[in-house]
Amino acid sequence: MHLSTDGTKPIYVQIAEWIETEILNGNFQPDDKVFSQYKLAEMFTINPATAAKGLNILTDEKVLYGKRGLGKFVTTEARSIIVDKRKNQTLKGLILEVALEADRLDVDEEELIEMLKLTMKKQKGDV
C-alpha cells in the first residue's frame, strides 16, 4: 500500500484503515497478532508514534486488544465492528458527497438511484 500524503486523510487513519482492510480480507484472523508500531513505521516509512496512534484508534474501537508487553491482537468481533463502522461512517459520508454532487448537477433522486443500480449490476457482472 502507498500512503497518500495529499492531506486528505491523516496518516494514522490510513494505517488504521489498512489494518481494517487486512482484517476484512482475512489476512488477520481473530487472536492473530498484528504488526507492532515499529514494524508499521518501518513498512510505511512513518514515525512510530503515528503508527501507534493508528493502532490505538483500533484498540479504542475494540478491533484490537493489547496484551501487556506482547503487542496488539485482533478481537473476535473485529470483523463485525469494522463492517458496522464502514457502513455507518464511510458509506454514509460517501453518500453525502454523492447527494451534494448530484444536487450541484441537478441530478434528481430517481436518476441517481438508477445510476447506483446500474453500477451495482456492473460490479456483479450482470451487464
Partner 1 sequence: MGLITCEELSKSRGGENALNDISFSINENTITGLVGRNGAGKTTLLKILSGLWRESSGKVHVLEEHPFNNLFVAVNSIYIDDQMVFSQTLSLKDILIEAERFYPNWDRELANRLFEYFQFHPKQKHGQLSKGKRSTFHMILGLASRCAVTIFDETTIGMDHAVRKDFYRALLKDYLTVPRTIIISSHHLEEIEELLEHVLLLKHGKKLFHLPIDDVKNYAIGLTGRTEIVRQWVKNKQIIHMENVGVNSSYVVIKNDPFDLDQARRLGISVSPVTPSDLCIYLTDQEQGRIDDVFK
Told to check if 71 binds partner 1 by CB under 8 A, we report: no
Min CB(85)–partner 1 separation in Å: 20
**Residue count, binding to partner 1 (CB under 8 A):** 22
Residue 107: all three cell numbers together: 441530478
| Long-range contacts formed by 32-41: CB under 8 A, 24+ apart | 32/73, 32/74, 33/70, 33/71, 33/72, 33/73, 34/64, 34/71, 34/72, 34/73, 34/74, 36/71, 36/72, 40/15
| Of 20-28, 48-56, 58-66, 109-117: span binding partner 1 (CB under 8 A) | 48-56
| Of 8-16, 20-28, 60-68, 71-79: span binding partner 1 (CB under 8 A) | 8-16
Told to check if 16 binds partner 1 by CB under 8 A, we report: no
| Of 21-29, 40-48, 62-70, 116-124: span binding partner 1 (CB under 8 A) | 40-48
β-bridge partners, 64: 74
Min CB(15)–partner 1 separation in Å: 11
